[in-house]
Amino acid sequence: MRRIWVFAAVLLGAPLLMGAHMGVQQLLGNFHEVIPGEFYRSGQPDGDDVAAYADRYRIRTIINLRNETPDAEALAARAAAERHGIRIIDFPMSSSKGLPVEKSAELAALMRDAEKPLLVHCDHGANRTGLASAIYTGAIAGKGEIAAELQLSPYYGHVPIRGVGRYEMYRSWDRFEETIGF
C-alpha cells in the first residue's frame, strides 16, 4: 500500500511542481540567459526590466514577437529601450498559428544579423519566444537538436502536447528543423 501512495505522490507531485515553477516564472518575467553574453529570452519586459537588462547584460537589440496592440507595459519598454540606445525590431507572430519555414528562416537571419547581446520576447516568454530560442540555439549557435528543443519545454512555460497550449510553435520548430537538417 505504501508503494501505491509513493507512486501516486510522484505521479501527482511532478505536474504540481512543474505548474508551480511555470507560475513563478511568469510572475518573474520568465527571463533566461540562453547563450551567455549573446542571447536572452523573456516575457514582455516593462521599462524597469529593459533598463536593468541594459545595465546588467548590455542588451543592444530587442526582438518583439508580439502581434498584439502594444499595451502600457510594452510602450514603457520601448521608451526605456530608446533611452538606453537599444534597437527594437518587431517581428509579429501568432502563438496559435504555425510559422512557415520561410518565415522561420527570415527570423533566423534577423537574429543572426542583429547586434548582440540580443533579447527576444513575446507576451509570456514561453511559446513564440520558445520557437525563436529553439531556432537561435539550433540554427545559429549550433548547440544541437536537444538543446534547441529544450527551449520549447515546460521549464519555460511551453507545453508541447497537441491540444494543450500552443502546439503550433513546436510543430513550426519541427518543420524548420527538418528543412535545415540537424
Q: Where are the domains of the chain?
A: 2-180
pLDDT band at 24 (very low <50, low <70, confident <90, very high): very low
C-alpha cell at 41: 529570452
The pTM is what? 0.84
Give dist(CA 128, CA 144) in Å, integer: 20
CATH homologous superfamily of 2-180? Protein tyrosine phosphatase superfamily (3.90.190.10)
In contact, 67 and 103? CB cutoff 8 Å: no
Instruction: Return the pLDDT at 78.
Output: 96
Instruction: Return the pLDDT at 15.
Output: 52
pLDDT band at 180 (very low <50, low <70, confident <90, very high): confident
DSSP-assigned letter for residue 86? -
For residues 150-158, average pLDDT: 87
**3-state DSSP: the chain helix, strand, coil percent, rounded to 5?**
55, 10, 35
Tell me which of 137 and 30 has the higher pLDDT: 137
Q: Given a cut of 70, is residue 99 above it in pLDDT?
A: yes
Give dist(CA 158, CA 170) in Å, integer: 9
pLDDT band at 163 (very low <50, low <70, confident <90, very high): confident
pLDDT in tens, 41-87: 999 999 999 999 999 999 999 999 999 898 999 999 999 999 999 99
Instruction: Return the pLDDT at 8.
Output: 55
Say how far residue 86 (Cα) sits from the centre of its chain.
Answer: 19
β-bridge partners, 40: 33, 119
Q: What is the mean pLDDT of the chain?
A: 87
Q: Given a cut of 50, is residue 16 above it in pLDDT?
A: no
In contact, 97 and 168? CB cutoff 8 Å: yes
* Integer angstrom CA distances of residue 45 from 121, 131, 146: 8, 18, 27
Long-range pairs of 106-110 with CB within 8 A, sequence gap ≥ 24: 107/132, 107/135, 108/135, 108/136, 108/139, 108/140, 110/63
